[in-house]
Structure 1
Amino acid sequence: MAYFTARIRARSVHIGYDDQGQLIKQDLPQTEFVEKVIKLDRILSFTEDHLFVACPHDTVQVWDYEGNLAEVKQRLTAAGVAMV
């Protein structure tokens, strides 16, 4: 199992879609950044300032993280994760 550490804060929970195809999401209160150890196979994607994480009940949480995408890519590559 591979893990990724990051300082994150939860931004929102994406619950699914309504019958018109509109995203159903719950915005979360802004909190301080905390350090987390995240199982890599739970991370769906990274953007410049967010990561999308698979959660129970087929939901996805959006987290802000400290740093930037270039740093994330460098860390993943150094850990042997293939980047194409």
Structure 2
Amino acid sequence: MINTKSSQPEKEKSPLRVLREELGYTRPQVKAIIGVSERRQADWESGEALPSLENAVALARLYKVSLKTLCKAVGLDVSDIPND
């Protein structure tokens, strides 16, 4: 029998994708709720692009996390920003 799976380990999921999946959302559901294309979401989750501030706020609300947590999830260093 031929193994059709790649011998490479599965790529680790991005923190932003984990936030989405932890709440059970699919990209089409996020698109319907906040109006952002699945392609754009994929770019955010892969680190190819960053969400605008308006979209970051919408994601933070949807995923029920602080903006600081969302910034960490998209790879921004917020270690020197004080907590409110």
**TM-score of the aligned structures, taking structure 1 as reference length:** 0.28
Instruction: Give the structure with the higher percent helix.
Output: 2
Which one scores higher on RCO, CA 8 angstroms, separation ≥ 6?
Answer: 1
